[in-house]
Amino acid sequence: MRIIRIVVILIAVACVPILSHAAEGMVTSSTQALWYNDFQSQDTDQNDIAQYLKLDVKKLDKEGKINLHGYGRVIKQTSTSVESRPEIAEDTYGRMYYFYLDYRDAIKDHLNFRAGRTYVNAAAVSGTIDGLYLNCRNLGPVGVTLFGGRNVLFDNKTEVGTGGDAIIGMSVYLDTVKNTHIEASYGRKYSDSDLARENVGLDFSSTPLEKVNLYGRMQYDTIGDTIEELLFGAKVAPVEKLILRGEYFQSHPTFDKYSFYSYFDVNDYDEVSITAEYQLTSKYRVSGKYAREDFGDDATANLYGIGFLARPIKDLTLNASYENRNGYTGKLNGFRVNGVYTISKAAISAGVDYDDFHRESSRDGTAKKYWAGVNYALNDTFSAVARVEEDINYNFDHAYQGFAALNITY
């Protein structure tokens, strides 16, 4: 029934521009064939057919304040797979990512709202809801957001959760001070009608001096009476084309209120990181990162990374990066190289991933991935995309996966 409901909604959504003469609508459709490898299935070669549909209808009213947005998909799994959970053991799955009415200036200069299935986010809580999001602007120097509704939980291909899963939240924000944003937020999550999480979030960012940006974030778990997440950072551009960033991040593992895991003692995770990126010329950029990770009880790790972005000629973009991690839970040493070249209406891309890893509590190995893809735009309405990939790793000596898609936008 859920699949039928989603299909009907998608078709109805696609018809809205026809029924509403004043509106401007855009529909994006993508029909796809996917093939991939599931190492846990009896037959590792898996195949799906997917239909995506996205709709944006603008100017439903004369003033152009009311818009409608919808996005969903239906997937038919054409191969056989054995799932551990009966609720996802079907071979046809539907998912509605969002479907909401967006009303700007419902009260001029003071109220915007979204109603329906929509994504909401705040420092305290975030997620997809079937509900309402209100943004009350210009209330003196501050604005207030309020949101609430059924919490939509996406999982492997389908939705999980019950009618008792919910999110409510609010935030008070100030961004009328030049280049400064201050925000306090509060949110709750319910699972099966039981309170699972209650958080308070504080956000701050400011650019007090030219080229110096300071920011911070705190998320406080009121149930566990602990600071769940703490972040302080500074971004500095000491000379033109050079951006330096330093961050301190701390997190404390937390669990739903009813979980027995919430009764155990845990260590904080601390991370200090610095990054630098330099735009050598308009065509070349280099970047580097170092992070020191501390898991408590003398367990640490060091992470190093460098990256290079090049656009040597107008239609060619190349990316290369190297990462080295050594410490608690294991070692990783690997690189990624990829590029995209545009020829008239086509874009051809290809790449290689290589990782040499050592899992502290288990095994060593290497993982290689080679891939190539092409995107061809026949005209403004029709385009096609295809990708093929070869994987050589612990689970597969040589495995192939990819997709082919026909996109229509009208």
Partner 1 sequence: MSNNRALKIILMSSAFLLVAACLSFAKTSHKEYRDASPEDCRECHTGSGVPENHGAFFIDTHRVLAEKAPGNCADCHPQSFCLDCHNGGGVTPDQRKSLSRRGEYMPKTHRSDFISIHPVKAADNPRHCYRCHEVTFCSDCHSRQIRQDRNSMDIKPHGPTFVSPGVPNPAWVSDHSASARRSLQSCQGCHPQKADCTNFACHPNLQGR
Query: Which of 12, 212 has the CB closer to partner 1?
Result: 212
Is 390 among the residues that bind partner 1 (CB under 8 A)? no
Query: Which of 92, 180 has the CB closer to partner 1?
Result: 180
Query: Which of 21, 353 has the CB closer to partner 1?
Result: 353
Query: Which of 18, 263 has the CB closer to partner 1?
Result: 263
Is 112 among the residues that bind partner 1 (CB under 8 A)? yes
Is 103 among the residues that bind partner 1 (CB under 8 A)? no
Over its C-alpha atoms, the chain yields an Rg (Å, rounded) of 24
Contacts made by residues 258-267, CB under 8 angstroms, sequence distance 24+: 258/191, 258/194, 258/196, 262/223, 262/224, 267/295, 267/296, 267/297
Query: Which of 20, 266 has the CB closer to partner 1?
Result: 266
Q: Give, in order, the Cα–Cα distances in Å from 407 to each of 30, 53, 140, 344, 385.
A: 4, 10, 46, 18, 8
Is 173 among the residues that bind partner 1 (CB under 8 A)? yes
Residues 126-145 touching partner 1, rule: CB under 8 A, are: 126, 128, 135, 137, 140-143, 145
Is 217 among the residues that bind partner 1 (CB under 8 A)? yes
Task: Tell me the site size for partner 1, rule CB under 8 A.
Answer: 165
Is 27 among the residues that bind partner 1 (CB under 8 A)? no
Is 370 among the residues that bind partner 1 (CB under 8 A)? no
For residues 147 and 128, is the Cβ–Cβ distance under 8 A?
Answer: no
Residue among 24, 267, 400, 408 that touches partner 1 (CB under 8 A)? 267
In the structure encoding, which two tokens stand for residue 337, read together? 């190289």
With contacts defined by CB under 8 A, name the span among 9-17, 39-47, 58-66 that binds partner 1: 39-47
In the structure encoding, which two tokens stand for residue 67, read together? 């818009």
Query: Which of 2, 215 has the CB closer to partner 1?
Result: 215
Residues 295-334 touching partner 1, rule: CB under 8 A, are: 295-297, 299, 301, 303, 307, 309, 325, 328-332, 334
In the structure encoding, which two tokens stand for residue 16, read together? 């809205």
**Spatial CB neighbours of 107, under 8 Å, sequence gap ≥ 6:** none
Is 271 among the residues that bind partner 1 (CB under 8 A)? yes
Site string for partner 1, 74-93 (x = CB under 8 A): -x-x-----xxx--x-----
Query: Which of 37, 92 has the CB closer to partner 1?
Result: 37
Question: Which one, of 235, 234, 233, 200, lies nearest residue 218 by Cα?
Answer: 200
Alpha helices in 110-163 (DSSP H): none
Instruction: Tell me the backbone φ, ψ of residue 264, rounded to 5 degrees.
Output: -95, 155
Q: How far is the CB of 4 from partner 1 (least distance, A)?
A: 21
Residue among 269, 290, 322, 376 that touches partner 1 (CB under 8 A)? 269
For residues 202 and 218, is the Cβ–Cβ distance under 8 A?
Answer: yes
Question: Which one, of 353, 298, 360, lies nearest residue 325 by Cα?
Answer: 360
Residues 184-203 touching partner 1, rule: CB under 8 A, are: 184-186, 198, 200-203
Question: Which one, of 267, 263, 206, 269, lies nearest residue 234 by Cα?
Answer: 206
